[in-house]
């Protein structure tokens, strides 16, 4: 646990209180997820030190805050990407990028200027002023500017929320590369289930200033006991490896621990690591496999039954070996088949989406 981010904040503002005690991994992307007003941005600001709050915070054994000490923001080895890019309007793109870079000692610079520029594709933009950039371009500059302070912790507050769909699509691949190529832990605030399943490794669900679930992504997404519901977006995410590309039928087979799925070929190659998202609404259960247009039929064991938001529906958690899928079925169907814990069942997956 020494190598992780330990935080505990207990504070209240006018009509809102935050009471959080968390340990986050020091690798990968941890998503702070919740509806607006759940306190996720406030928590992020507390971690940055932008919002003074009682509590303690240790990042990889360095104490940033405890009862006797409050390290000011500018001394914390962090970077922060705000929802709106917040570039300095009086500085060119290049000078914006250099602002933080020049303020850290040379020996601490682990990200080279040219690397950050080429990584985020900013070569053509360096001499421009921020007001001459599109929303997506501005956010790319903000991300590069943050990386250039070589932070030990990168905080991102809904970096895509203010962008249109086109700009979101433009930024997402950069965030994924950040995830794959950079060894910087990221705390990522979002209210989008799609961003969570695409980017997160670790998920913290917040509601009313409290943590209602936290854990590795797959575990947390497949929990049935959350008071917080994802509704139609209820899904699990499987980390897979591409096992076979079938050029004749334009399909690929992706393998996950103890199972595999076929999906449309979207230009991946064998051996590549991909994430697939399986929505609970796309999973159905059957007593017998039978002939069907559904190509993905797996044998599993009912692990648990859970409530859904709608009284006519229920969630069924099914184990495929060591992996887990969720099925959203009607209560009547469940009664007809006689679904109960530990029974063996066929799982039909109607569609699978590649998220990475």
Q: Which residues bind other proteins (CB under 8 A)?
A: 48, 50, 72-74, 78-80, 82, 84, 86, 88-90, 99-100, 103-104, 130-131, 145-146, 149, 155
Return the number of the residue (90 or 291) whose C-beta is nearest other proteins.
Answer: 90
Distance of closest approach, residue 100 Cβ to other proteins, in angstroms? 3
135-147 and 165-181 are packed helices; what angle lies between their axes, rounded to 10 degrees? 20
Q: Other CB atoms closer than 10 Å to residue 132's CB: what's the count?
A: 12
Token couple for 314:
């229920």
Residue in this structure with the two tokens 């509806």, named with its chain if needed: 35
Angle at 23 between CA 151 and CA 32, to 5 degrees: 70
Distance of closest approach, residue 13 Cβ to other proteins, in angstroms? 13
Residue 309 class from Cβ within 10 Å (0-12 exposed, 13-18 middle, 19+ buried)? exposed
Distance in Å from the first CA to the final CA of the chain: 29
Reduced to 3 states, what is the DSSP secondary structure of residue 210?
strand
Distance of closest approach, residue 37 Cβ to other proteins, in angstroms? 20
Return the number of the residue (40 or 45) whose C-beta is nearest other proteins.
Answer: 45
Rg (CA), the chain: 22
Distance of closest approach, residue 208 Cβ to other proteins, in angstroms? 25
Return the number of the residue (111 or 146) whose C-beta is nearest other proteins.
Answer: 146
Distance of closest approach, residue 115 Cβ to other proteins, in angstroms? 18
Distance of closest approach, residue 69 Cβ to other proteins, in angstroms? 17
Residue in this structure with the two tokens 């956010």, named with its chain if needed: 139
CA distance 250 to 227: 41
Residue in this structure with the two tokens 């405890």, named with its chain if needed: 66
CA distance 202 to 28: 8
């Amino acid at each position: 646990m020494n190598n992780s981010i330990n935080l505990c904040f207990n504070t209240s503002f006018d009509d809102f209180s935050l009471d959080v005690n968390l340990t986050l991994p020091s690798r990968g992307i941890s998503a702070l997820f919740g509806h607006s007003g759940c306190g996720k941005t406030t928590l992020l600001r507390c971690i940055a030190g932008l919002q003074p709050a009682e509590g303690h915070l240790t990042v990889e054994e360095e104490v940033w805050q405890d009862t006797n000490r409050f390290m000011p923001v500018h001394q914390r080895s962090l970077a922060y990407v705000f929802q709106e890019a917040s570039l300095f309007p009086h500085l060119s793109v290049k000078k914006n990028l250099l602002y933080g870079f020049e303020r850290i000692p040379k020996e601490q610079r682990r990200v080279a200027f040219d690397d950050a520029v080429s990584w985020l594709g900013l070569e053509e933009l360096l001499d421009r002023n921020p007001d001459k950039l599109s929303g997506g371009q501005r956010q790319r500059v903000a991300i590069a500017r943050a990386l250039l302070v070589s932070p030990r912790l990168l905080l991102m507050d809904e970096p895509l929320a203010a962008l249109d769909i086109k700009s979101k699509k433009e930024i997402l691949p950069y965030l994924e590369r950040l995830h794959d190529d950079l060894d910087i832990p990221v705390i990522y605030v979002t209210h989008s289930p799609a961003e969570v399943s695409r980017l997160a490794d670790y998920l913290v669900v917040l509601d009313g200033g409290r943590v209602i679930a936290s854990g590795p992504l797959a575990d947390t997404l497949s929990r049935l006991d959350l008071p917080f519901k994802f509704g139609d977006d209820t899904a699990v995410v499987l980390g897979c490896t591409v096992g076979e590309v079938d050029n004749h039928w334009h399909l690929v087979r992706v393998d996950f621990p103890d199972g595999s799925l076929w999906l449309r070929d979207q230009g991946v190659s064998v051996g590549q690591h991909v994430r697939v998202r399986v929505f609970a609404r796309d999973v159905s259960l059957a007593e017998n496999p039978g002939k069907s247009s559904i190509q993905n039929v797996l044998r599993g064991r009912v692990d648990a039954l859970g409530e859904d938001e709608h009284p006519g529906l229920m969630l069924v958690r099914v184990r495929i070996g060591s992996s887990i899928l969720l099925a959203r079925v009607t209560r009547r169907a469940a009664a007809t088949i006689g679904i109960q814990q530990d029974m063996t069942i066929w799982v039909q997956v109607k569609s699978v989406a590649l998220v990475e």
